[in-house]
Structure 1
Amino acid sequence: MGGDENGLRIQVVVVPLPLQGHLNQLLHFSRVIAQRGATVSFVATSAHIHQVRRRVQGWDLHNFDIRFKELPMPHLPAEEIDAQSSLMFPFHLIPLFEAVEYQLGSHVDQILGTICSENNNRVVIVHDSIMGWIQTLAKKHSVPAYIFSCIGAYYRLWMKRVSDQTWGLSPLNISLKRCFPERLLKYAMRQRSLLEPAKGYIINTFSTLESEFVHQGREELIYSGKPVWSVGPLLPQAFFNDERRLQLQADTECVIWLDRQAPASVLYVSFGSISSLSATQIGELADGLERSGQPFLWVLRISDGAHSSTEEQFDSACKFLKQGYEKRLEGRGFIVRNWAPQLDILFHKSTGGFLTHCGWNSTVESISAGVGMLTWPLHSDQFANSALITGELKAGVEVKEWGNAEENETVSAEEVEKAVKRLMRSEEGMQVRKRVQELKGEARKAVGDGGSSCKDMDSLLHHFSQSISY
């Protein structure tokens, strides 16, 4: 499947944005196309390659033809993560996006030139949608390039319907200033202006989840009249086959704790890898979880830094808990202080709900695991994803109704308690769990033989072959 019309292997150069959610999706994509016969060169900084390799779940990197091409870490200003801030966007990461383009562009150019010369230009590029500058290098080397979207079609559709000139309220009644700082909006708009030569769009989604919104996106020219392939969910087959425990090198402490809990009883709480809650918000969330009486597994840590993760600093967020909190909830609550194996947690039989920031990775993973969501968006595409989950898919409930504040308002302990009980114990919560189990079945079908995503992946690899110039 990964060869061209002469039976020669296709060389696919994959260039992700150096953030965990983006690195993770594109590494999973690399696994799938390598499994189908392509050779993959995964291009990222050495620090981020180390990070994403360390966090692999459910499959062995050594079993796939994925070659890591390391870039040097760009020079960045000293970063600060303000634990007292109510602004949730990780501002400390914006200089990284800019530095990768301006400081590492020549390094990517050199790697691409070497790969092209070694493979007689039987090369295609797949790059993150917010790295439009890769298209310029692709044109220089006469290599076809494809866009990988790490966000869903629903979000892109709503963003298109907001006037580029008026940047006021989105249809979700949330100001764009709350979702994105102006500096990032300007960066993203410039990157989008460079995407015109792209051959098409690849999305980590599947037909039942978003076919309606992919179709509307095509009609409204969100994808510029180019082909769109829905190839998700990009998860190891072991999870769909309930074989995940066979893939673990060793059981982690949190998974062992889950083994002791009742089926579908635990609320998993995580806000992803790039956001940190304020000290005040941590206190309210902790009180709300305690008052709910629900067993919970909480990943409480600071954001990944621009230089990738700093495991030794993760524990600092726990200092905002009241003295004796963990001791008092011992047995009912478990706090993870660093990175957690999210797939193993979500697919565990004891996990019954997910309090989530609604990042696209977490959204797709939770649906694939059949776990209903309690949505608590913080920034970026997360408010749109929350609307998709709760309004369109009926696969979750909101932790509260969100206003049009430019800063994230604090969610009180009372609101947390009420929302947890609503998801985990109410009739509405039961209907959410029933619906998300249906979506889990559809996700499994999509990636199975003859499924919609399987067919789209076949079509994509065929398009790779046809687009290669000699």
Structure 2
Amino acid sequence: MLPATILDEEGYAALNEHGHTRRIREAKGILVNTFRELESYALDSMGGDDCIPPIYPVGPVVNLEIDDVVYDDRTNEIFRWLDDQPESSVVFLCFGTMGRFGGDQVGEIARGLERSGHRFLWALRRPPSEPKSNISTDYDDLIDILPEGFSDRTVEAGRVVGWAPQKAILAHKAIGGFVSHCGWNSILESLWFAVPIAAWPMYAEQQLNAFQLVVELELATEMKLSYRMKGENDMIVSASEIERGIRRLMEEGMEKRVKWEEMSEMARKTLMVSGSSFSSTGRFVRDFLG
């Protein structure tokens, strides 16, 4: 995980001067969880197969086991509700282990979702109770943080939950879009299950990931690229921006949706015999095991 300071000129310079960074060239090889079809420009810019040290793109490495979900009453309710929704009709909002929002931002998300008119499943978690902890936790009662009457008005259209089994949800046929913080694992999972992303990065390398998806590759739609989760004075993303982003994701992004599905197909093929990551893995084995 890269620190957020890499986005600043001084932070990038400091990282570049760090001893461990300079010693990367001493490595015998670097395995990367990506695939050539997704990041060919980046791989070629580093020298491709002639890079020193050699880089082996062997992804997407994704844990595809969805049978390990603990199906308690809450999880069962999520999937019962999804089973009743039309195919590709639900937008899923989930922001990772560290993704959390204060009350003002929660209110804007709720209003944006309601105005969009789309079905939704929202994994909402609260900031950690311990000052030095980065792990978000579930609210004791979601009603306390949501706008008054929101749950009643949207009872047919959506569900707000705490922790949610992201991978199993992305695999469900009812999911048609994913509002994501753009962590790399989340990107690879959404690619694998062909669920288009609306990018809402918050910290670490997520800004770079989101920029790549939205601007460089033109695969994803933009929810908010300039957002950073810094603390109590976070920049608020407005309800109108959220509504607009969801509509672009679910209604207007047909060209991006087609490109996303094509890249999803490439992600699967690259692991097959003669695929680029299959070949790269073979090259790694030959180079290191003889």
- TM-score tier (shorter): 0.7 to 0.9
Q: Percent identical across equivalent pairs?
A: 32
- Please name the residue that 2:237 is paired with: 411
Q: Which moved more, 1:368-377 or 1:403-412?
A: 403-412
Q: Could you tell me whether the CA contact under 8 Å between 1:292 and 1:420 is conserved in 2? A: yes
- Please name the residue that 2:158 is paired with: 333
Amino acid at match of 1:451: G
Residue 405 of structure 1 deviates from its aligned partner by: 11
Q: Could you tell me whether the CA contact under 8 Å between 1:207 and 1:230 is conserved in 2? A: yes
- Please name the residue that 2:113 is paired with: 289
Q: 1:314 and 1:405 mapped to 2: Cα distance?
A: 18
* Residue of structure 1 aligned with 2:246, choices 417, 420, 430: 420
- Please name the residue that 2:277 is paired with: 453
Q: 2:21 and 2:69 mapped to 1: Cα distance?
A: 39
Structure-2 change in CA distance of 1:213 and 1:281 (3 Å) = same
Q: 1:442 and 1:367 mapped to 2: Cα distance?
A: 9
1:276 is paired with a residue whose SS is coil
The answer to whether the aligner puts 1:343 opposite 2:167 as a matched pair is: yes
1:335 is paired with a residue whose SS is strand
The answer to whether the aligner puts 1:201 opposite 2:30 as a matched pair is: yes
* Residue of structure 1 aligned with 2:43, choices 214, 218, 224: 214
Amino acid at match of 1:416: I
Q: 1:363 and 1:375 mapped to 2: Cα distance?
A: 10
* Residue of structure 2 aligned with 1:276, choices 100, 124, 141: 100
Q: Which moved more, 1:267-276 or 1:191-200?
A: 191-200
Q: 1:256 and 1:194 mapped to 2: Cα distance?
A: 52
Structure-2 change in CA distance of 1:435 and 1:230 (3 Å) = same
Structure-2 change in CA distance of 1:343 and 1:188 (3 Å) = farther
The answer to whether the aligner puts 1:261 opposite 2:85 as a matched pair is: yes
TM-score norm. by structure 1 comes to 0.53
Residue 274 of structure 1 deviates from its aligned partner by: 1.7
Q: 2:237 and 2:201 mapped to 1: Cα distance?
A: 11
Q: Could you tell me whether the CA contact under 8 Å between 1:273 and 1:303 is conserved in 2? A: no
Residue 299 of structure 1 deviates from its aligned partner by: 0.9
Q: List per-residue Cα deviations over 1:312-337 (Å, max 9, x = no partner).
A: x4225834212342233113111221
Q: Could you tell me whether the CA contact under 8 Å between 2:228 and 2:234 is conserved in 1? A: no
Q: Which has the larger radius of gyration?
A: 1
The answer to whether the aligner puts 1:435 opposite 2:262 as a matched pair is: no
Q: Could you tell me whether the CA contact under 8 Å between 1:300 and 1:317 is conserved in 2? A: no
Structure-2 change in CA distance of 1:237 and 1:453 (3 Å) = farther
Equivalent residues, number: 281
Q: 1:436 and 1:270 mapped to 2: Cα distance?
A: 19
TM-score norm. by structure 2 comes to 0.83
Residue 362 of structure 1 deviates from its aligned partner by: 1.1
1:281 is paired with a residue whose SS is helix
Structure-2 change in CA distance of 1:418 and 1:309 (3 Å) = closer
Q: How does 1:387-402 map to 2 (within 5 A)?
A: 387-400=211-224, 402=226
Q: How does 1:155-174 map to 2 (within 5 A)?
A: 167=9
Q: 2:219 and 2:271 mapped to 1: Cα distance?
A: 20
Structure-2 change in CA distance of 1:430 and 1:277 (3 Å) = same
Q: 1:188 and 1:265 mapped to 2: Cα distance?
A: 48
Q: List per-residue Cα deviations over 1:243-268 (Å, max 9, x = no partner).
A: x5x67664833223211111111101
Amino acid at match of 2:207: F
Amino acid at match of 2:58: V
1:447 is paired with a residue whose SS is coil
Q: Could you tell me whether the CA contact under 8 Å between 2:98 and 2:134 is conserved in 1? A: no
Q: 2:91 and 2:218 mapped to 1: Cα distance?
A: 18
Q: Could you tell me whether the CA contact under 8 Å between 2:88 and 2:174 is conserved in 1? A: yes
Q: 1:365 and 1:404 mapped to 2: Cα distance?
A: 23
Q: Could you tell me whether the CA contact under 8 Å between 2:98 and 2:135 is conserved in 1? A: no
Task: Extract unaligned runs of 5+ from structure 1.
Answer: 1-16, 23-88, 90-158, 169-175, 239-243
Q: 1:197 and 1:205 mapped to 2: Cα distance?
A: 22
* Residue of structure 2 aligned with 1:371, choices 185, 195, 200: 195
Q: Could you tell me whether the CA contact under 8 Å between 2:170 and 2:193 is conserved in 1? A: yes
Structure-2 change in CA distance of 1:189 and 1:334 (3 Å) = farther
Residue 279 of structure 1 deviates from its aligned partner by: 2.1
Q: 1:411 and 1:454 mapped to 2: Cα distance?
A: 41
Residue 297 of structure 1 deviates from its aligned partner by: 0.8
Structure-2 change in CA distance of 1:419 and 1:247 (3 Å) = same
Q: 2:234 and 2:70 mapped to 1: Cα distance?
A: 39
Q: List per-residue Cα deviations over 1:265-322 (Å, max 9, x = no partner).
A: 1101011112322221111111111111111111111367877867xx4225834212
Q: List per-residue Cα deviations over 1:206-251 (Å, max 9, x = no partner).
A: 11101221110237x9x7x10111111112467xxxxx5x676648
- Please name the residue that 1:241 is paired with: none
* Residue of structure 2 aligned with 1:231, choices 58, 63, 72: 58
Structure-2 change in CA distance of 1:186 and 1:386 (3 Å) = closer
* Residue of structure 2 aligned with 1:352, choices 176, 180, 185: 176
